[in-house]
Amino acid sequence: MLTRRRGRPVRALARAAVALALAAAGAAGGTASGAAQAGPAGTAATVPAPASRTVALVTGQRLLVGTTGRHVSGYRMLPQDGPAATLVSFGGGGGDTYAVPADVLPEVGRRLDLSLFDVTALARQSTAGGRTPLDLTFAAGTPPAAPPGVRLTSVTGSTATGVLDPGSAAAFGRAVRERRLPPALESVRLGGTGTGTAARPHFPLHTLRISARGLSGGPGNTPLGSIVLNTDDVSRFGTVVPVENGEGNVQVPAGHYAVYTLFVDRAADGAETAWREVAQDTTVAEDGPDTTVAVEEAAADRRVTVTTPQPATADVLKLTWFRTGPSGNVTFDSVQVGSPATVPVYVNARPAAAAGSRYVVQWGGAAPDGGAYRYDVAFGSDDVPADQAFRAEPGELATVEHRFSADPAAGGAPGSLYVLPVDGFTRAVEAAGQTVLPPPVDQGRQAVPGSRTEYVGTADGGGWAFGTVTAQLDTFDSDTLTLAPGSTRTVDWAHGPLAPGLGTHHDQQVRECTACAGGGQFTLYLPTGDSEPDHVGSVAADTDFTLSRDGTRLVDEPDVIGARVSAGDGPADYRAVLDTDRSATGAGQSVRTRTELAFHDPGRGADPGLDLPADVPCPAAGCRIMPALTLTYRLDTDPSNTGPEGGTQGLDLTVGHLSYDGRGSHAPVTSATVSVSFDGGATWQPAALTGSAGNYHADWRNTGTAAPSIEVTAADGAGGSITQTVTAAYGIAPGSTR
């Protein structure tokens, strides 16, 4: 259990979490143009260490959800046990994000309230230990009886409250699927949310009817349900509509809608034989009759298939429909995960939407032996083409060699790798600030330490964002890697030392500039990184952060990794100190860090090379990048971040500046030192250092078997400096030499 002197335990989730943290901080501090007035310590808007928590859906699936305060920034589905399963997800704009196992869709909107699958609300409502609070209603006059897996905590008449423990969610899910809920149970909703459904603005409502026919031509073969999304503004309306005996209806405001209806075909023994997903558009007029959408299962007659040069067993099939609207992008996701993911999936052909649309097929599969290689490919188009037979051509593949390091304190527990295709459409969505990309897909449990050879498709532009979750639920995410056909790229994950830094970024993913000023605001935060300069990581840690400008202390706070303060356009000198402590998590490496960072902001227009690229999020147009130093370490250690006892230890050190697509400070690096301590920092010895201009190599001899600490200092010609100390930066293997 984490403890700290103030605040509460945190686990950090990178990427969109930090961007959302800054947005929340700006909202707390004032308007976008003048937020967060500088002043005495604690009055600035701080950037919380983005938290993450494991949330169990009531049906048993586990999600790792990133949160900042009461805001949710994104989620990943953690590796699942058992056979392949299908999850549907939808959301966008300013609305909540929902994730629903497709096989329980028939109960959603009936006895299961949609709030049970509201990822945004679940992350707020889950109690200590991951327990989910529930409100239950039973038939009038019927004493409440706990459904399987649920523990009732109070009973009032025919209503009750209860909790669902993560370990009991699978039992509840089985009861839902097997129709074994108590007959008198009328509704289950997420506790503490009133009606359990996300609050929506009030608009005049109109009836939208769903009339569905199965392959038999009648209503008997009914769909699992329909997802109805307002494409003008999904926060105005988005829900699951139950369809019973071929009919469903819902009250909606006027506007344009996308309707996605899911059917499942079954054999006589109940086994699934096919999934059919029908996408349609409709308009609900402000003045007019009720709107009816006729859904024909037979319209989904295009089977989605992917073939690869070598044999591969499918474990991922993800279909994403993007729609562009005036208030942001809307997404609907259908992802089949597990091995084997072999249930055939059919869709209907659709033209491109006039306002903008994108359809992406993501497919993944592993070698039949489960470990030699895997394929991850994606195919995107503005329409839904009639030809859904995709082929991964050998000439369109790149190779990514993933190498996973791990702290031995994790005990050999597995991690996981996540991938997300990023094409021109999603880049444009990001540039417009419409950061509602679907969640990345887990590619299965990954042995750590370990490696994986991945053949990656380039047919949809070759852009991929990768991420990993360690056994300790630490996360690391890459910028978008644009891979050329035939190329090979090696990526190291969680290779230590793990330490805060600003990074060197190209085509970065949904992250606000880590150190920028503009529009009356200055922002600085320090996420944790590994040995890849573009990786943004988040780890469980206690933190303390201070920030001073021109010698005046602006921020002195625990549990944060940065701050946003008001700032003028003139020059200023900044100094920041961030302390992190992972000792309460049981970490054996990179246990504590101290980062002291100082730099001079030359002011607006003083150096055009500091102008932030327009596609990098920032509170205002015309932001400038701070000329702040950043360090990248590459220790010559094995995948357990361990070096040899008595042997020579090497370190490649890169000293550079925060940069985006090559823009940032190019002030010369004028000095660097590396020191090592084998007694917890009581004494230090200098390492032999060679190199210049920011590229260095350090050598020293390991002494004893205690985990050594490393201290690095560097300075540049513009008056900037950095000092970083990492306690227990790596391990030493007793008895080994080299």
> Mean pLDDT score of the chain, rounded to an integer?
84
| 603 token code pair | 């002011």
What's the one-letter identity of residue 255? G
Binned at pLDDT 50, 70 and 90, residue 121 comes out as confident
Please, what sign has the CA dihedral across residues 179, 180, 185, 191? negative
Q: Is the pLDDT of residue 92 over 80?
A: no
**How are beta strands 205-213 and 291-296 bridged, if at all?**
parallel
Q: What is the mean pLDDT of residues 308-336?
A: 87
Distance in angstroms (rounded) separating the CA atoms of residues 631 and 449 = 24
Of the three residues 435, 462, 493, the one that is the final residue of a domain is: 493
Residue (of 243, 227, 58) closest to 136 by Cα position: 58
Instruction: Classify each residue of 28-38 as buried b or exposed e, where b means 16 or more C-beta atoms within 10 Å of its C-beta.
Output: ebbeeeebbeb
Q: What is the pTM of this model?
A: 0.86
- Are the C-beta atoms of residues 507 and 463 closer than 8 Å to each other? yes
| 649 token code pair | 């230890």
Give the pLDDT score at 74.
Answer: 61
Residue (of 703, 709, 685, 701) closest to 649 by Cα position: 701
Mark whether 607 and 525 lie in a shared domain.
yes
Distance in angstroms (rounded) separating the CA atoms of residues 618 and 79 = 34
Binned at pLDDT 50, 70 and 90, residue 323 comes out as confident
To the nearest 10°, the Cα dihedral for 316, 321, 324, 328?
-50
Binned at pLDDT 50, 70 and 90, residue 377 comes out as very high
Q: C-alpha angle 53/55/61, rounded to 5°? A: 140
Does 162 fall in a domain? no
Mark whether 540 and 688 lie in a shared domain.
yes
Distance in angstroms (rounded) separating the CA atoms of residues 319 and 315 = 14
Residue 229 pairs in a beta bridge with 238, 258
Q: Is the pLDDT of residue 34 over 70?
A: no
Q: How many CB atoms lie within 10 A of CB 327?
A: 17
Q: What is the 3-state secondary structure (H, E, C) of 629-665?
A: EEEEEEECCCCCCEEECCCEEEEEEEEEECEECCEEC
CB half-sphere exposure, 263, CA atoms < 13 A = 29
Q: What is the mean pLDDT of residues 388-413?
A: 93
Distance of CA 738 to the CA centre of its chain: 40
Does 135 fall in a domain? no
Q: Cβ neighbours of residue 369 under 8 Å, at least 6 residues apart?
A: none
Give the pLDDT score at 177.
Answer: 87
Residues 616-658: tens digit of each pLDDT? 888 777 899 999 999 999 999 999 999 999 999 999 999 999 9
Q: C-alpha angle 601/14/581, rounded to 5°? A: 80
Q: Cβ neighbours of residue 268 under 8 Å, at least 6 residues apart?
A: none
Residues 171-227: tens digit of each pLDDT? 998 999 888 999 999 999 999 764 444 445 567 899 999 999 998 765 545 689 999
Domain of residue 531, CATH code: 2.60.40.1930
- Going from the C-alpha of 236 to that of each of 180, 197, 228, 253, 332, the distances in angstroms are 35, 13, 11, 8, 16
End-to-end C-alpha distance for the chain, whole angstroms: 39
Q: Is the pLDDT of residue 309 over 70?
A: yes
Give the pLDDT score at 36.
Answer: 34
Does 176 fall in a domain? no
Distance in angstroms (rounded) separating the CA atoms of residues 586 and 602 = 42
Lowest mean pLDDT among 67-81, 198-212, 256-270, 592-606: 67-81
Mark whether 589 and 522 lie in a shared domain.
yes
Mark whether 325 and 471 lie in a shared domain.
yes
Q: Is the pLDDT of residue 339 over 80?
A: no
Provide, rounded to the nearest whole percent, the portion of the chain with pLDDT above 70.
Answer: 83
Give the pLDDT score at 166.
Answer: 80
Q: Residue 112: which region, alpha, beta or left (left: phi > 0; alpha: psi -120 to 50)?
A: beta
Mark whether 431 and 510 lie in a shared domain.
no
To the nearest 10°, the Cα dihedral for 518, 521, 522, 527?
-100
Distance in angstroms (rounded) separating the CA atoms of residues 371 and 315 = 13
Q: What is the mean pLDDT of residues 665-674?
A: 98
Q: Is the pLDDT of residue 261 over 60?
A: yes
Mark whether 576 and 456 lie in a shared domain.
no
Q: Cβ neighbours of residue 35 under 8 Å, at least 6 residues apart?
A: 25, 26, 27, 29, 45, 520, 521, 564, 566, 619
- Are the C-beta atoms of residues 480 and 378 closer than 8 Å to each other? no
Does 146 fall in a domain? no
Does 134 fall in a domain? no
Q: C-alpha angle 49/94/173, rounded to 5°? A: 80
**How are beta strands 397-404 and 488-493 bridged, if at all?**
parallel
Provide, rounded to the nearest whole percent, the portion of the chain with pLDDT above 90.
Answer: 56
**How are beta strands 345-347 and 357-366 bridged, if at all?**
unpaired
Q: How many CB atoms lie within 10 A of CB 614?
A: 10
Mark whether 603 and 700 lie in a shared domain.
yes
More confident residue, 426 or 388: 388
Q: How many CB atoms lie within 10 A of CB 140?
A: 9
Residue 632 dihedral angles phi and psi, to the nearest 5°: -125, 125
DSSP notation for 520-558: TEEEEE--EE-SSTT-EEE---EEEEEEEETTEEEEEEE
Give the pLDDT score at 245.
Answer: 87
Residues 43-63: tens digit of each pLDDT? 467 666 555 567 788 888 888
Residue 219 dihedral angles phi and psi, to the nearest 5°: -80, -5
Of these ranges, 18-32, 498-512, 594-608, 722-736, the one predicted with the greatest mean pLDDT is 594-608
Does 314 fall in a domain? yes
Count structural domains, the chain: 2
Residues 578-606: tens digit of each pLDDT? 999 999 989 999 999 999 999 999 999 99
Give the pLDDT score at 653.
Answer: 98
More confident residue, 395 or 19: 395
What's the one-letter identity of residue 718? A
Binned at pLDDT 50, 70 and 90, residue 661 comes out as very high
Give the pLDDT score at 39.
Answer: 39
Mark whether 476 and 510 lie in a shared domain.
no
To the nearest 10°, the Cα dihedral for 491, 493, 498, 502?
50
Q: What is the mean pLDDT of residues 310-321?
A: 91
- By three-state DSSP, how is residue 474 classified? coil
Q: Is the pLDDT of residue 40 over 70?
A: no
Q: Which domain holds residue 345?
A: 308-493
- Are the C-beta atoms of residues 620 and 520 closer than 8 Å to each other? yes
- Are the C-beta atoms of residues 268 and 362 closer than 8 Å to each other? no
Give the pLDDT score at 186.
Answer: 96
Distance in angstroms (rounded) separating the CA atoms of residues 301 and 303 = 6
Distance in angstroms (rounded) separating the CA atoms of residues 374 and 357 = 29
What's the one-letter identity of residue 418? Y
Q: What is the mean pLDDT of residues 704-708?
A: 93
Q: Is the pLDDT of residue 18 over 80?
A: no
List, in sequence order, the alpha helices (H) in 178-325: none
Q: 340 preceded by cis ω (within 30°)? A: yes
Q: How many CB atoms lie within 10 A of CB 304?
A: 18
- Greatest Cα pair distance, the chain, in angstroms, is 83
Residues 491-512: tens digit of each pLDDT? 999 999 999 999 999 987 657 8
Does 183 fall in a domain? no
Q: Is the pLDDT of residue 737 over 70?
A: no
Mark whether 504 and 483 lie in a shared domain.
no
Binned at pLDDT 50, 70 and 90, residue 372 comes out as confident
Give the pLDDT score at 343.
Answer: 85
Q: In what order do the strands lie in the sheet with 515-518?
A: 45-48, 560-566, 521-525, 515-518, 624-625
Binned at pLDDT 50, 70 and 90, residue 418 comes out as confident
- Are the C-beta atoms of residues 661 and 507 closer than 8 Å to each other? yes
Residue 341 dihedral angles phi and psi, to the nearest 5°: -95, 80
- By three-state DSSP, how is residue 445 classified? strand
Mark whether 663 and 574 lie in a shared domain.
yes
Of the three residues 493, 526, 546, the one that is the final residue of a domain is: 493
Of the three residues 459, 493, 527, the one that is the final residue of a domain is: 493
| 385 token code pair | 């083409």
Mark whether 545 and 636 lie in a shared domain.
yes
Mark whether 595 and 678 lie in a shared domain.
yes
Does 248 fall in a domain? no
Residue (of 676, 677, 734) closest to 705 by Cα position: 734
Q: Is the pLDDT of residue 4 over 50?
A: no
More confident residue, 32 or 209: 209
